[in-house]
Every structure is written in C-alpha cells, then in structure tokens.
Amino acid sequence: MLTDDDLRVLSEYKYRSIDKSPTSYYILNPFWTWCTSLFPTWYAPNLITLTGLAFVVGNLVLVELLVPDLVGPGPSWLYYSMAAGLFLYQTFDNCDGKQARRTGTSSPLGELFDHGVDSLNCTLAGLLMVVTLGLGSTRLGAFFTLVSAWPMYFSTWEQAHTGVLYLGFINGPTEGILIACGVMLVSAVLGPQIWLEPTGFGSLIWRDIFVGNVLVALFFVHVPGCVWNVRAAGKQVRLVEWLPLLAFTASSWFWATSPFGHILAHNHLVLWALQSCLVFGQMTTQAILAHLLHKPYPIGSTIMLTTFVGCVVVNAPLIGLPGLTHSQELVLIYVTLAVTLAMYLHWALGTISAFCRFLDINCLTIKSRGKHV
C-alpha cells in the first residue's frame, strides 16, 4: 500500500512530452481539439480514457462471437468496426489530456491512468491485428500478440529515465495506429485472405511483408531510439531493467507454444492473451508509478508469477512429470486468468484510491470545485 510519504513527491509533478509527428501536429491535433470541445465539461478525462478502451474491448467481444477461430473471414462490417474502434481509441486517448487542461483538472493520476490503459490496449490491439491478418490461433498469432506490447515497455523505460515521453516523427501511437486502421480497412474491402496473396518477390506473401516491417520498426528504430535518448539524457542503460519484459515474453511464449500444451491446438489464444494483457499491464504501469514517485525502476512484479506457474506446469513433462489434458489445461488457464485479474484489480484499485485520497480528487468524476481529476 502507498503511504502519504510515498506520495508526497506528487506535489512536484509536471508532465513533459515531445511529439515530433507532422501528422499529429498538422492534421490530428486540430481534430482532437475539436473532438474535445464536444465533451461536456463534467465528463472526467479518465472516463474519456476508459471509454476509448471500451471501443477496443467491444470489438474483441464481436470477434469472439463472429470469428472465434481468429482466421475468418468475418463479415466485412466487422473489420470496419475494428478500424473505427481503434481510431476512436486513439482519438479518445488524445482528448483526455486536452479535457484535463480544458477543465483545469490535470493530475499525476491522469498520466498513470492514461498510460495504464495504454498498457492494457497493447495486447488487445495486437489481438485485433491477429484477426485482421487472419493469423489465427498459431505460433505467429501468439508471437504478434506478445510483440505488440514491446514498444510500450521501451517507451515507458525511456520516460522513466529521461522524464519525457518522446514521440518521434513517425511513432506508434500516431502513425502506427493509423497504419493498423488502414490494414483493417483493406481486410474489410478485400478480406483478410488478401494478406496471403503472393507479393511477386519470391515466396513472400503480403502478411510476411507487414510483419517484417513491424519487427524492423521495433528492433531497428524504436528500441535503438529509446536507448539513444536515455544515453543522451546522461543516464546509464541498465540491461537488467529489460529482464521483466524478457522473462514475461519467454514464459508466455513457452506456455502458449508448448508441445505438451493445448492453447493453440484448441483455439484458446484469446484467453491466454487476456491473462498476458493483465500481467503486462501491471508490470508496465508499475514502472510508470515508480517514475511518478521517484522510485527505482522495478525489476519484475509479483503478478508475473501467474504466467510462470502456467509455463512450468504445462511443460512439466520436460522433467518427467505427467502433462495436462486439454480439460485440465483449460482449468489452469481460467484459474490463472482469475487470479491475475484479482491481483491486477487489487493493485490498481488500491493505487487509484491512494492517489485520490492524497490529492483529494475523484478518478472518474470531477469534483464540483473542479480542482483535479
């Protein structure tokens, strides 16, 4: 539990960000400002953030109902809906801060809440892209879902050391989401099977081109850029701070793709991804919290144990122990998901409550005096 002594540094809080995207500055920012003016002044910024996430979650529910194999093709309107939902998520994610400034209700809780929701959305949006590309419950589908969360981790790590959220000329929250929306629109018009068509370059298909570009952007642009900015700020790059991400990714991957497991073979990728989403969400948000409270960068989180347990139990035959049947692993998935959700809610609600108490604010409503949000 957070104490008043822990939270006392919040009085020094000042949000700092740099966005060099021309798309954001010249096109989207005026649009976001106009959208913000449509919200009533009683609509709390954090509620805007949460509403944006609801568009993504709502589309995932539609996917489970209409394209449960994550391959499809589903009805064309579903892909239009996913594109619209992701675009609305981006819009609301940029309106919340403007609404806070508009109503004079900016606070460190707003930054924590906003980035915490972004951390959850990474995996969820990755799942929508799995459906868009028709990857299905496969190793590539699991890989793409996990890798979708990596940019958020490194941006959070960079901000923790530089004190600035840096968005480059081409960045994930702006151009990345717009590209994802564009891919969804292509699938809406031509069907997800278009990504399996040959490109004319050897045996390459369009899906390979897209996934390859995502990996190049991540490992050769985004991660090196984060490292460069940390070093430019005069801070030491401690690779041990990357261990939580590597441990989380490895344990999630070896659980989902275990030859003794049933997640991919029996189409349980969504359940597995929801559990991974919560683990990554808390792990990353704890790093944001440490930044706000001027604490050391956290090396791991207790919630990661749920993923480790799943990975170890499913791969028990490697050391001669009996494996799990499909029904047994399904119980394991549901139990770990429930425990992970309980741990996440306990931590998140406790943290929000502590912030609200110390700052004398509400989380999802604006107090009548309009002091903070």
Q: Is 215 exposed, middle or buried (0-12, 13-18, 19+ CB in 10 A)?
A: middle
Query: In the chain, which residue ranges form alpha helices assigned H by DSSP?
Result: 4-7, 22, 29-38, 45-66, 76-103, 108-132, 139-147, 150-162, 177-190, 206-217, 223-232, 243-256, 269-292, 304-314, 326-359
Catalytic residue chosen out of the listed positions 115, 222, 262, 291: 115
Q: What is the DSSP annotation of 248-274?
A: HHHHHHHHHT-TT--TTTTT-HHHHHH
> Residue 343 is encoded by which pair of tokens?
């741990």
Q: Looking at the DSSP assignment, which residues form a beta bridge with residue 205?
A: 198
Among 137, 150, 118, 140, CA closest to 249: 150
156 Cβ contact partners less than 8 Å away, ≥ 6 residues apart: 115, 119, 284, 287, 288, 291
Give CA–CA dist 149/246, Å, rounded. 12
Cβ pair 70, 131 in contact under 8 A = yes
Asked if 222 is an active-site residue, the reply is no
Distance CA 199, CA 205 (A): 5
Q: Check: CB of residue 74 under 8 Å from CB of residue 67.
A: yes
Catalytic residues: 115
